[in-house]
Structure 1
Amino acid sequence: MTSAHRVAAIISAYNPPADLVTKVERLARQVEGIIVVDDGSPADVSAVLQDLEEAGAVVLKQGVNSGIAAALNAGIRHAAESSPDFFLTLDQDSELDPDYVARALEAYTAAAAQGVAVGMVCAESHNGHPVLLQRPGVPFPEAFDPMQSGTLIPAATFDAAGLLEEDLFIDCVDSEFTARIRELGLKAIVAPGANISHAVGESRPMLVGKWHVTIGGQKRFVHSHAPFRVYYITRNSLVMYRRYLTKQPLWVMRRMGLDIIFDGIRVVYGPHRARQVAAIAFGIRDALTGRMGRISAKENALVSPRRKKADA
């Protein structure tokens, strides 16, 4: 890649699949360096990690599973030693379009030239679907609640705002960081034409009895998360809302409304409904008591679906 800006990509990995190697090889055409952080994978992924190194990535290994924020921060700190201009954060199940980084850099340059204080550049679409915007129709629209995967972050943003919040462990890490940089007057702009492909969780038909819900001539599906993820989503969202309600009330109220809708859909139409409800309840309790970090082993066992025993 030839660019006036040096970009270091950081990928968080957990039990990384073999196809991550191919993704890294393609990503290498867009950035100057790639760091893959294995976040304490319990499976034996030594062969995949070796292939990633042979593909040109630097592989860092976390001793224990510490969460996506800690994994990305480890990679950012390591990459910062070579002083890149930008950091690109990614999940292992994401893949960028071939011109993604070029489009993101173009958007940054154009906005900065017009005096916009750019804190990050985000995808304009996920899996071909436009992201929600703060205010559509403005010259450099801001993403409403961008996910961290595919976010191009200037080094100066981390200098001003600090790194990602590790106590959140998984969910809302990106949302909290976006809210934090807004407090500094920085913008999370979208890059026109920049698309990222990303897995969206388990998908199942939205059924009422035996009827597949159809709206506007299209059959609807429920994209659900495992109950332990619902715990983090609930707890971390509430912690974040308490922190930013008085500072960014419109953003908090809009996001809270979306949470209520999505939680309702998961509970009514999704799998493991009782466990989803339990995960939400545990998340509310821990948000109120201030318990952060990883979900406890006891609660994780209570909300996790039991695996069926293999046939003898």
Structure 2
Amino acid sequence: MTAGAAATQGAGRRLIAVVSSFRPTDELVRNVGLIAGQVDEVVVVDDGSGPDYGAVLDHVRAAGARVVALAENQGIAAALNAGLREAALAPEDLVVTFDQDSTVPEGFIAALVAQWDAGVRAGLAMGMVSPESFAGLRQVLRGADEHGFRHSREPIQSGSLVSGEVLAAAGYQREELFIDLVDIEYYLRLKRLGRACLVAPGLVLPHELGRTYPFTLLGRRIRLSGRQLTLSLSTPFRYYYRARSRVVINREYWRSDPALLSVDTLREIQHVLLVGLYAQPRGAIARVIARGLRDGWRGRMGKMPDDVAQTAARVSWRIDPL
């Protein structure tokens, strides 16, 4: 047991980190080293990167992680589930999940655990604890509850902590969603079960969401108060999964969280309109998104069909990233 982990544990409780990996670089080795000093064990699940990445994964093992290598790419949900099962969690154990490119500051996990324990002492039915800010975005609802806790608003899975008891009660990640909105579905599931999803006040996890591009109009960069306006664009194939998962999640959770999903859907529509402006060819990205919507409605889940992947591979962005 590390000194950092010992300071955050209750009697007999283990603290585990599960990290998803796909075609990793030495950045993963550095990040695992940062995490390993804060927990009892790190489990890295490589999601079918293949033999070319064996050397990097050997370095990950040397940095203190147990590595689970999946034979083929199965998506973020399946990778996280493989790591959670490998950890063999007892109900009292705590586990925090990370993306491979999350750089975890010293004391980060201890802050999550402290907020978890505070919630337990207050008698809350705990579901999850997440950082207040991720990639520069606040993921917190307005106002505090009667105990003074701030609750999260759709936290990203990277940097979020749950317990073995929560996983036993709520289940694991939805593997058929494959990648996008997997974390949002789990958050909504916990809320529907009456579980408290808290933020650790002031806690920040540095991260990047997609690549950042300048906002332009008629070929000119747009500034506001002297600052360049920007937007984040995902890899084109991700818009198939985003569209499909949005249909599935809206259909399943609309009755339990209509206000939140109304806002999310409006924002998604606005983003897709911008995607259409920046994509080339526009017809290709439109077909990718339309197929995602159709497959979501029809319940066609799992990895995207080959023909959709081929269409998405033809799409590029009209502007260069910052």
Q: Under a length normalisation based on structure 2, what TM-score does the superposition of the two structures give?
A: 0.90
Report the equivalent of 1:203. 212
Partner of residue 310, structure 1: none
Query: Where does 1:137-176 land on structure 2 (aligned, <5 Å)?
Result: 137-138=144-145, 139-176=148-185
C-alpha contact 1:12 1:39 (8 A) present in aligned 2: yes
Q: Which secondary structure does the structure 1 equivalent of 2:43 belong to?
A: strand
Identity of aligned residues (%): 34
Deviation at 1:271, TM superposition (A): 5.9
Q: 1:265 & 1:118 partners in 2: Cα distance?
A: 38
Extract unaligned runs of 5+ from structure 2: 317-322
Aligned match for 1:21, one of 10, 18, 29:
29
Greater Cα offset, 112-121 or 50-59:
112-121
TM-score by length of 1: 0.93
1:112-156, Cα deviation, whole Å (9 max, x unpaired): 2222222000111123x3423233344212211111111111111
- CA distance change for structure 1 residues 63 and 302 in 2, over 3 Å: closer, same or farther? same
The residue identity in structure 2 corresponding to 1:133 is: V
Per-residue CA deviations over 1:276-306 (Å, capped at 9, x if unaligned) read: 3222111111011110000011110011137
Map of 2:139 onto structure 1:
132
Match of 2:55 among 47, 53, 75: 47
**Contact 1:171–1:236 (8 Å) recurs in 2:** yes
Aligned to 1:97, the other structure's residue is in SS state coil
Amino acid at match of 1:276: I
**Aligned 8 A contact 2:94 2:164 in 1:** yes
In structure 1, list runs of 5 or more residues that go unmatched: 308-312
1:232 is matched with which residue? Answer: 241
Check if 1:265 corresponds to 2:270: no
| CA displacement at 1:217 relative to structure 2 | 3.1
Provide the C-alpha distance between the structure 1 equivalents of 2:258 and 2:227, rounded to a whole number of angstroms. Answer: 34
Give the C-alpha shift of residue 61 in structure 1.
0.8
Alignment of 1:210-221 (within 5 A): 210-221=219-230
Q: Secondary structure at the match of 1:44?
A: helix
1:29 shift after superposition: 1.2
* 1:83–1:243 Cα change, 3 Å: closer
Please give the root-mean-square deviation of Cα atoms over the aligned residues, in Å: 1.8
Is residue 67 of structure 1 aligned with residue 68 of structure 2?
no
Report deviation, 1:225: 0.7
Q: Secondary structure at the match of 1:46?
A: helix
Partner Cα separation in structure 2 for residue 31 and residue 175 of structure 1? 25
The aligned counterpart of 1:292 is 301
SS of residue paired to 1:124: strand
Q: State the distance in 1 between where 2:177 and 2:80 align.
A: 13
Q: Residue 190 in 1 paired to residue 199 in 2?
A: yes
CA distance, structure 1, for counterparts of residue 182 and residue 28 of structure 2: 22
Which whole-Å CA distance do the structure 2 matches of 1:27 and 1:184 have between them? 30
